Amino acid sequence: MFERRLKLLLVCIVLLMGVVLMRAAQVQIAQADQWRERAGASMTRVQTVETYRGAILDRHGKALAVDTACVDAGVDYRAIRNPPDAAWVQQVAVSRLAAKGLNREQRRSLLAREQEQVRADIAAMWVRLAEVAQRSDESREESIDRIEQTRVAIVNRVEYLKRSLQYHAYRRARERFDDDADRVDWKSWLLEGRSGPPEIDAFAVDIAEETSVHPVVKDLHLLVANQLQKDADRMPGLMVSPGVTRRYPYHESAAHVIGSLGKAGQEEVLDGGNDPRRRYLPDDLIGRQGIERLCEPILRGSRGLIRSRIGGDSGPESVEASPGKSIRLTIDIDLQKSVEKVFERVSFPWPESTSDPITTEMYGAAVVLDAQSGQVLAMASHPGYDLNELSTLYKSLSLNAADRPLLNRATQAAMEPGSTIKPVIGLLGVANGVVGLYEGIECTGSLIIDGKPQWDGKCWTLKQFMNNPLAKGLTDHHKLPTDAPHKGSHGNRDGFLMFADSLERSCNVFFETVASRMSMSALCDGLRSFGLGSETGIGIEEVPGLLPDAFEGRPALRFSQQYLAGMGQGYLTATPLQMASAVSVIANGGAWIRPTLLLAADDPAGASVADAGAAAGDVSSASMPSPTSAPTTLPFTPERRELSIPLAAINEARRGMVNVVHARAGTGKNLLIDSNLPPGLKLAGKTGSAQTSKLSIPRLDPRTSEQLRNEAGGLAWDRPKLITREEPWFPGALTWYRGSGGLDRVAHAWFVGFAPAENPQVAFCVWVEYGGSGGQSAAKVAQGVLEACVDHGYLPAR
Amino acid sequence: MRRLWQQLAIATNWPVLAAAAVLLTLGTMSIWADTRDSSDPVWPKHLVFVVVGIGAMAAFQAVNYQILGRWAWAFYGLSLALILYTVAGSLIGGRAPLPFVRQVNGTYAWLVFGGMSLQPAELMKISFVMLLARYLRHRSSYRTLGGLIVPFVLTGVPVLMILKQPDLGTALVFGPALFAMLFVAGAHVRHLAGIVAAVVLVGFPLAWLSGPVEAGAPGLPLLRHLPAVVRNYQRERVYSLFRNDPEDRNATGFQQERALMAMGSGGATGKGLGVVPVGRRVPEAHNDMVFALVGEQFGFLGSLAVVTAYVVLFAAGFEIASATREPFGKLVAVGVVTLLAAQAGINLLVAIRLMPVTGVPLPFVSYGGSSLLASFLAIGLLLNIGQNRPFIIARSPFDFG
């Protein structure tokens, strides 16, 4: 009897079913929440809604950079993928055949051929888009290449988005159900899709971007858009749709200050944090330069999210997109435009000549500061470029090593300031007690150290007459011009030059002597206190410049660097912004104020950042990322440093600087010639003619933008020929590269100053690249700058 | 008329029919839920299969099973011939090597006639049980080790052919049926245990290890010259059960992962009839993973219903076997119930990730004509045996004291 065996078998089967039931209970009751979570994550579709970037406004609210509607040519993601999505191609083919009114049998027989046709049309569409996008400076092949790159970039972006959402869901689940949250290798997985943490694939999400239209060619011309629209039947997936592009209504004006946007790279993508609304996706635009970079966190908007569950009973949850906030600059764009215009027509005589003035475009920079607050009213760097065309022109601009239009000469060019440093040196000398306020120093034409004249410390006046045999042994040259000889005054009986006199006549020997009497550290610390030798901290790209204590040559030469600094030569360089900032110390009575481009929130000049973006998204729930609070504080630290300089010394500096412009012996008196400045306006200024080296232009490889090498293996340089009075023009001449007359020397021209002298409202610095004499070209530019300030109400017009 | 119903009510085994009805209902609802919005809503087709299956069941119930038993060799021969025909197709290869033979999902398990398709291996299951029962009914030779050779050959030939198609899942259910029938027929436990031990300790490792390195085997000396028994994808499925590698999850573990998500998200009471948002994204949900669809719609209660229905079905089947003293009927009942139990067991263990993916349909629940037909034939036989209990005045069969 084997009935027992039957029962045994039955028991086995029932046990098996028991196991199944227990496991079902485990999955559906004990772990139900966990599986539900996983299932939920895998069932979620997330769509992102892009938003606007905040505008950059000038101090009066005029838009300098603003997101504007445009027409884009977009393509369905399924046609962007290469090869195109097969199911979608079939779908297009079917609907095309259906549109032809074919019956089912005919459609079936033609389907394969029609799919081939759709594929061919997609390929042709990409060529057409490349033609549409082709720039004037690139070949057809380059354009096709570029479109191909765009295509790849979109695919990367979507893949990344998908992976990051998946990861986000995965991590939330892990945090909830697991103790160890993060894995070391997830970053490589996130970026490249390589194998990563376990179980993450269970959280794969579908995203709407996989089936939506992505812009491929931005900002189409309307005619082109119409043509594309007309041919849309032959271009599967093409959609001409409204988009957003950043526009710069003032084109070249303040281009260097406003800065530019670029595409986010790997670093930003990884460092973007966990907030899915603000995180950078590959190909997102990010501020790369200037204010766009500085104020990125404020300007950048938070994208919106729409999260829907497939087959879920609840409707989609969404977080509204919140646009970026606007930023107000201290720049007055109209003043800025006028200041930039000055450089286009500079009228000045050839160096060392008073006759035959020339009118030409010169390169350089001008900075106008509010003398009391440090606000930058204008910051011009010439030549500039049209920000609207930057992406098109970038390559040719960056290859232009001679003109360097991308360089912000106001903050990124540190040059020897020449004589414009002299007021600072004098003040430091008085403050350090190495020279009395009214102490005269004899100028014999050369700096005398330990009784020996120094060959490199000659006074500029002597240099002018050096080759004149009659002028040998000239000792009292500062009596020039002869009708305004210097006499002793202020208790100074010897007739030697005092601080103010030396400023007026720009005596090298006086300031060299003062600098040589100080210790190196006292000199450099003093220069530092005026904001030299380090970045001002204005927030946009700038260079720190050099101070003489950075010199590491022979000790004997180190000392010469010290006294050369007294006349702003040698191991001392500064940017025009630094010089404007230094001169405003004299203008405001002795405080260094960090210059700023950003209008503070409580500035009465206009409502500002804080109120613009309080309205973030309102909809939130446990599973949705909470509305983001974008930073509202300005990325700028104000600083005001009271320098310990006697007011009397500052007043003497002011007196000297007023005389530079208004006295008959003043080196800057050309400023007033042929000017439209109000006659009652008293100006203070200082000229500078800083000897410099000849222009050497790196020869760049047009493809890589790297410097080429010459036959000997060294770096290849071009040394262009100077324009001189004798040869004012020749083929390939750089019109702004001028020699100093018959002498084969070159110099940058400077002019710093403030106005009105008795109650300073603006401080300024003008730098003219290869402008020769500061008293000529720079004075002319300064004249234009000051006239612009009067025109726009920053100086009194009477 | 009333008498007929009364007779039917007495003769028919209602628990079996009730269990089958519960399973069919759950299955049809799941198939409907899974495919109602799809481009190929197969649930009407499934209903046709059900009707055809009920017809076949009635046919198998109508004729006395002992008459059917006389045709066992013929059924077996016909099934084997059909299988051999598909195997010939698999040896030729290609999409459509022979008339009616098509490659479906990499196997040649189906014969395709127009819109319908037939899986000869499913027929073979029934034929095999009938033939084996017929072979064993009056013998006692299988009580010696040598006497076990013929039953094993009768099983081994179709199993090897089915493996050649290849269709591992279907082949797997033959073993339990064979052992259960021998066990109930009275084969010595030590013989059966010895064979099981030999298979587990020698056969499995040998199969796993043999074959060239290209086939994924470790490539041991001697063994690498043997033909590969285990295929690469099968190895992967086993590995994926033990590894927590995302690559695996994507490739092979994905189906099970998704199935568990669907089941688990159903919770205790389910999401309701026809609501299978997760289950719809499980590959082959209405075939191999139909348990997940039931679990998602009806939660643990649904799972409980399925398991209970099977237990009722199998217990009723064993009750019939136990009550039948006629040896052929008794063995057929045991074989048929074990077949269904093995098939259900494998499918359920796969669905709850206690076994690697094999692709066996869940009897009465999964979509699939051949499987459904075989299941209906199986319970047709079972009911047949239950209602035709010959009164035999003899010692009970297989009573060897």
One-letter amino acid of A535: E
Burial of residue B159, with CB atoms counted within 10 A of its CB: 0-12 exposed, 13-18 middle, 19 or more buried: buried
Instruction: Report the alpha-carbon distance of residue B278 to residue A312 in Å, rounded.
Output: 10
Higher pLDDT, B318 or A170: B318
Q: Is A87 on the interface with B (CB under 8 A)?
A: no
With vertex at residue B25, the alpha carbon angle to CA B19 and CA B31, rounded to the nearest 5 degrees, is: 135
Residue A6: list chain B partners with CB under 8 A: 184, 318, 321-322, 334
Residue A196: list chain B partners with CB under 8 A: 246
- Beta-bridge partners for A458: A446
For residue A576, cis peptide bond before it (omega within 30 degrees of 0): no
One-letter amino acid of A220: L
Interchain contact, A43 vs B278, CB within 8 Å: yes
pTM of the model: 0.67
Interchain contact, B246 vs A197, CB within 8 Å: yes
On whether the CB atoms of residues A601 and A326 are closer than 8 A, the answer is no
Residues 6+ apart with CB under 8 A from A33: none
Q: Which stretch of DSSP H or E encloses residue A111? A: helix A104-133
The alpha-carbon gap from B36 to the nearest alpha carbon of chain A, in Å, equals: 14
Residues 6+ apart with CB under 8 A from B78: B123, B127
Instruction: Report the alpha-carbon distance of residue A484 to residue A641 in Å, rounded.
Output: 39
Residues 6+ apart with CB under 8 A from A23: B352, B354
Lowest mean pLDDT among A315-329, A365-379, A755-769, B174-188: A315-329
CA neighbor of A401 nearest in space, from A726, A717, A685, A783: A717
What pLDDT, on a 0 to 100 scale, did the predictor assign at position A614?
Answer: 32
Average pLDDT over residues A413-423: 93
Nearest to A28 among B184, B185, B299 (CB): B299
Q: Is the pLDDT of residue B347 over 90?
A: yes
Torsion of CA B318, B322, B326, B329, to 10 degrees: 0
Question: From the CB of residue A105, how many other CB atoms can be counted at a distance below 10 Å?
Answer: 8
Average pLDDT over residues B93-108: 77
Average pLDDT over residues A341-347: 90
Residue B304: list chain A partners with CB under 8 A: 21, 24
Angle between helices B149-164 and B174-185 (to 10 degrees): 170
Q: Which stretch of DSSP H or E encloses residue A449? A: strand A446-449
pLDDT in tens, A250-265: 989 999 999 999 888 7
Torsion of CA A90, A92, A94, A95, to 10 degrees: 160
pLDDT in tens, A24-60: 999 999 988 888 887 877 677 777 788 889 999 999 9
On whether the CB atoms of residues B380 and B16 are closer than 8 A, the answer is no
Torsion of CA A149, A152, A158, A160, to 10 degrees: -100
pLDDT in tens, B207-253: 888 877 776 677 777 777 777 777 766 776 677 666 655 444 444 56
Question: From the CB of residue A744, how many other CB atoms can be counted at a distance below 10 Å?
Answer: 10
pLDDT in tens, B23-69: 999 999 999 998 887 767 888 989 999 999 999 998 888 888 888 88
Burial of residue A441, with CB atoms counted within 10 A of its CB: 0-12 exposed, 13-18 middle, 19 or more buried: buried
What is the CA A447 to chain-centroid distance, rounded?
Answer: 42
Nearest to B267 among A36, A198, A202 (CB): A36
Interchain contact, B185 vs A2, CB within 8 Å: yes
Terminal Cα-to-Cα distance of chain A (whole angstroms): 130
Phi and psi dihedrals of A183, rounded to 5?
A: -120, 150
Instruction: Report the alpha-carbon distance of residue A55 to residue A325 in Å, rounded.
Output: 7
Lowest mean pLDDT among A186-190, A470-474, B18-22: A470-474
Q: Which of residues 288-347 of A touch B (CB under 8 A)?
A: 309-312
* Pair of tokens at residue B396: 């009970």
Q: Is A198 on the interface with B (CB under 8 A)?
A: yes
Spell out where A157-278 has E strands. Answer: 206-207, 213-217, 238-247, 261-263
What pLDDT, on a 0 to 100 scale, did the predictor assign at position B388?
Answer: 76
Instruction: Report the alpha-carbon distance of residue A406 to residue A384 in Å, rounded.
Output: 7
Q: Is the pLDDT of residue A528 over 60?
A: yes
Higher pLDDT, B169 or A541: A541
Question: What separation in angstroms does the CA of A657 have from each of A620, A651, A757?
Answer: 63, 10, 9
Average pLDDT over residues A728-750: 78
pLDDT in tens, A285-308: 899 999 999 999 889 888 888 877
Residue A2: list chain B partners with CB under 8 A: 183-186, 398-399
Find the length of chain B.
401
The alpha-carbon gap from B237 to the nearest alpha carbon of chain A, in Å, equals: 16
What is the CA A442 to chain-centroid distance, rounded?
Answer: 47
Residues 6+ apart with CB under 8 A from A611: none
Which site among A11, A14, A17 would you substitute to test the B interface, given the most B Cβ atoms closer than 10 Å to its Cβ? A17
Secondary structure class of A606 (helix, strand, coil): coil
A339 — pLDDT class (breaks 50, 70, 90)? very high
Which site among A3, A7, A11, A20 would you substitute to test the B interface, given the most B Cβ atoms closer than 10 Å to its Cβ? A20
pLDDT in tens, A174-218: 665 544 444 444 555 555 554 444 456 666 677 778 888 888 888
**Tokens 């496991």 label which residue?**
A23
A653 — pLDDT class (breaks 50, 70, 90)? very high
CA neighbor of A572 nearest in space, from A422, A427, A437, A449: A422
Instruction: Report the alpha-carbon distance of residue A752 to residue A502 in Å, rounded.
Output: 16
Question: From the CB of residue A448, how many other CB atoms can be counted at a distance below 10 Å?
Answer: 17
User: Listing from the earlier edge strand, what are the strands of the sheet with A304-309?
Assistant: A206-207, A44-49, A304-309, A317-319
Q: Is A202 on the interface with B (CB under 8 A)?
A: yes
Higher pLDDT, B287 or A787: A787
Q: Is the pLDDT of residue B6 over 70?
A: no
Angle between helices B174-185 and B120-136 (to 10 degrees): 10
Q: How much of chain B, in percent, has pLDDT values that exceed 90?
A: 37
* Pair of tokens at residue A239: 């959609």
What pLDDT, on a 0 to 100 scale, did the predictor assign at position B206?
Answer: 83
Instruction: Report the alpha-carbon distance of residue A112 to residue B118 in Å, rounded.
Output: 30
On whether the CB atoms of residues A83 and A356 are closer than 8 A, the answer is no
B391 — pLDDT class (breaks 50, 70, 90)? low
Instruction: Report the alpha-carbon distance of residue A696 to residue A466 in Å, rounded.
Output: 28
Interface ipTM: 0.90
One-letter amino acid of A201: D
Phi and psi dihedrals of A65, rounded to 5?
A: -145, 125
Lowest mean pLDDT among A127-141, A270-284, B76-90: A270-284
Angle between helices A576-588 and A422-432 (to 10 degrees): 50
* Pair of tokens at residue A208: 């709407």
Q: How much of chain A, in percent, has pLDDT values that exceed 70?
A: 84
Instruction: Report the alpha-carbon distance of residue B326 to residue B389 in Å, rounded.
Output: 7
What pLDDT, on a 0 to 100 scale, did the predictor assign at position B101?
Answer: 83
One-letter amino acid of A616: A
On whether the CB atoms of residues A779 and A762 are closer than 8 A, the answer is no
How do beta strands A357-360 and A346-349 pair?
Answer: antiparallel
**Tokens 């049809």 label which residue?**
B28
Interchain contact, B399 vs A200, CB within 8 Å: no
Highest mean pLDDT among A155-169, A235-249, A366-380, A494-508: A366-380
pLDDT in tens, A62-97: 999 998 888 888 899 989 988 888 888 888 888 888
Instruction: Report the alpha-carbon distance of residue B75 to residue A220 in Å, rounded.
Output: 74
Burial of residue A445, with CB atoms counted within 10 A of its CB: 0-12 exposed, 13-18 middle, 19 or more buried: buried
Interchain contact, A28 vs B300, CB within 8 Å: yes
Task: Tell how many helices (H) and how many strands (E) occur in chain B.
Answer: 17, 3
Interchain contact, B264 vs A35, CB within 8 Å: yes
Average pLDDT over residues A348-356: 68
- Beta-bridge partners for B110: B102
Mean pLDDT of chain B: 84
A477 — pLDDT class (breaks 50, 70, 90)? very low
How do beta strands A56-57 and A327-328 pair?
Answer: parallel
Instruction: Report the alpha-carbon distance of residue A455 to residue A451 in Å, rounded.
Output: 13
The alpha-carbon gap from B354 to the nearest alpha carbon of chain A, in Å, equals: 9
The alpha-carbon gap from A541 to the nearest alpha carbon of chain B, in Å, equals: 46
Average pLDDT over residues B84-99: 83
Nearest to B186 among A2, A7, A197 (CB): A2
What pLDDT, on a 0 to 100 scale, did the predictor assign at position A604?
Answer: 43
pLDDT in tens, A583-597: 999 999 999 999 999
Q: Which stretch of DSSP H or E encloses residue B208? A: helix B204-209
On whether the CB atoms of residues A241 and A71 are closer than 8 A, the answer is yes
Q: Which stretch of DSSP H or E encloses residue A239? A: strand A238-247
Instruction: Report the alpha-carbon distance of residue B66 to residue A555 in Å, rounded.
Output: 121
Residue A14: list chain B partners with CB under 8 A: 311, 314-315
Average pLDDT over residues A214-225: 84
What pLDDT, on a 0 to 100 scale, did the predictor assign at position A378?
Answer: 95
What pLDDT, on a 0 to 100 scale, did the predictor assign at position A606?
Answer: 40
What pLDDT, on a 0 to 100 scale, did the predictor assign at position B314?
Answer: 94
What pLDDT, on a 0 to 100 scale, did the predictor assign at position A2?
Answer: 64
A462 — pLDDT class (breaks 50, 70, 90)? low
What pLDDT, on a 0 to 100 scale, did the predictor assign at position A627?
Answer: 46
**Tokens 């027989």 label which residue?**
A109
Interchain contact, B265 vs A13, CB within 8 Å: no
Average pLDDT over residues A514-543: 93
Phi and psi dihedrals of A750, rounded to 5?
A: -125, 155
The alpha-carbon gap from B82 to the nearest alpha carbon of chain A, in Å, equals: 31
